[in-house]
Structure 1
Amino acid sequence: MARAVAAEFRVPASVALAQAALESGWGHSDLAVQDHNLFGFKCSAAGPGPVAVGCRDHPTTECTPECHPASASFRVYDAPLSSFRDYGRVLTTSPYYASALPLRSDPNAFITEVAKKYATDPGYADKVIRLMREHDLYRVDAPLP
């Protein structure tokens, strides 16, 4: 799924895979299991957006700047692939992440820029980069045969 989204939206597959692993607890979080939301995308006041099929409240942690438990409304998807596709769509169409797009060929620089708007955790980019390094996720960025 990460490679398919990388091919469609030109975002690093390694970053998509590492973010999905981090955000979903390697696919085991309630948000991932119940709602196929692998990236922790929240619903906005306008609703779930064009890809998700609904919204559901889940517990979360917010850092503002101190980290604390919270509850938020998260997007619900019909399948994990829909979550990956929404991830690619959001990163490539939202003005929040426009400054990251020129960095697509450097996964570490890309996530460092994305993280500035993506998460409230100040250590978020470091956590994603650690996952990419520890699990050699850069290998998924290799061109498909």
Structure 2
Amino acid sequence: MIHIGLAAALVVVPPIDQGAVRDAALSAGFQEAYVGVAGPIAQAIHAAYDIPASVTVAQAILESNWGRSKLSTAELNHFGFKCVTPTSPGPIALKCARYPSTECVPAPCHAVDAYFRSYASIGDSFRDYGRLLTTSSNYAAALPVRSDPDAFIRAVARKYATDPEYANKVIRLMDLYDLRRFDR
């Protein structure tokens, strides 16, 4: 086990073979392989931050394309988190990496180069997710409903994504892959 100290909590993340994660993402049956890796990490994040593990896994699936996106394989960024500035990765990420992206705010959508957080491990990416959702005022409205995964993602999605169907997509993933099992 890897023990990651936090100001208020100790997060115990199961040992992870990063090569195995990449191999699983590229293999047949990659969905269950990814859920098998992400589920226990999400449960550790739940223990530290009291965020529904089902939502964490579903958002990681959606944001990283099952751990298959370039950002998740090269930068171990499973939530698409951007850097605050091109040289400010935040307290957990190691550095900022430049990638082409599309921004839709302000409209219309347009191509940009954006700086994304690069992590030492998938566990650090998940830990940053837990930290961000529990410390950012953007997600304060979600915290009182965190015992209800559907209500939680609906509240988070208001600030997390510009896609009006984002919460529904996360909920569909939770239902389709029985991700609520990680909340039990």
1:62–1:121 Cα contact (<8 Å) kept: no
Residue 22 (structure 1) aligns with: 62
Which deviates more, 62-71 or 99-108? 62-71
Using the TM superposition, give the Cα deviation of residue 68 of structure 1 relative to its aligned residue in structure 2, in angstroms. 4.8
Distance 1:71 1:2 in 2: 30
Count of residue correspondences = 142
Rg bigger for which structure?
2
- TM-score if structure 2 supplies the norm length? 0.73
1:61 paired with 2:83, answer: no
Distance 1:59 1:110 in 2: 30
Using the TM superposition, give the Cα deviation of residue 60 of structure 1 relative to its aligned residue in structure 2, in angstroms. 2.9
For structure 1, which runs of at least 5 residues remain unmatched after alignment? none
Residue 14 (structure 2) aligns with: none
Residue 42 (structure 1) aligns with: 82
Using the TM superposition, give the Cα deviation of residue 70 of structure 1 relative to its aligned residue in structure 2, in angstroms. 3.8
Identical-pair percentage: 57
SS at match of 2:66: coil
Structure 1 residues 32-58: Cα deviation after superposition (integer angstroms, max 9, x where no partner): 000000001000127110000000112
Using the TM superposition, give the Cα deviation of residue 69 of structure 1 relative to its aligned residue in structure 2, in angstroms. 4.3
For structure 2, which runs of at least 5 residues remain unmatched after alignment? 1-40
Distance 1:102 1:73 in 2: 31
Q: Kindly report which structure 2 residues correspond to 1:128-143, keeping only aligned pairs within 5 A, or say none.
A: 128-142=170-184
Distance 1:107 1:48 in 2: 28
Distance 1:70 1:82 in 2: 26
Distance 2:152 2:101 in 1: 25
Alpha-carbon RMSD across the aligned residues, in angstroms, is: 1.4
Name the amino acid aligned to 2:83.
Answer: C
- TM-score if structure 1 supplies the norm length? 0.92
Q: Which structure carries more relative contact order (alpha carbon 8 Å, separation 6+)?
A: 1
Distance 2:90 2:57 in 1: 22
